[in-house]
Amino acid sequence: MPRYYFDMRDGDELAVDEEGLVLSDVRAVQAEAAKSLADMAREAVHGSPVAGKHHMAIEVRDGFGPVMQVKFTFEVEKPIH
């Protein structure tokens, strides 16, 4: 079974996955990428969210190169009083 690497992109920052995961097929890869992205978004919202748009992505690659990218964008607006 192939090893897949899940690099996390938050804005311009990229955290490279050095270990990867061995998964059976692309369906399992997509599920893992979606779960990882949901975890990233949850942490960003529960942390100290900064107003503005936030772009996050999981960039998946294998030993041959890019496999897929799963993206998420959200915006925090603070009310004007």
pLDDT tens per residue across span 39-66:
998 887 776 666 778 899 999 999 999 9
Work out the burial of residue 11: count CB atoms within 10 Å of its CB; fewer than 13 is exposed, 13-18 middle, 19 or more buried.
exposed
* Main-chain dihedrals φ then ψ at residue 31, nearest 5 degrees: -65, -45
Structure tokens at 43: 């942490």
Structural element, H or E, at residue 66: strand 65-76
Whole-number Å distance between alpha carbons of 80 and 59: 36
Biggest CA-to-CA distance, the chain? 56
Q: What is the pLDDT of residues 59-73, one digit of tens each?
A: 999 999 999 999 999
> What pTM value is reported for the model?
0.84
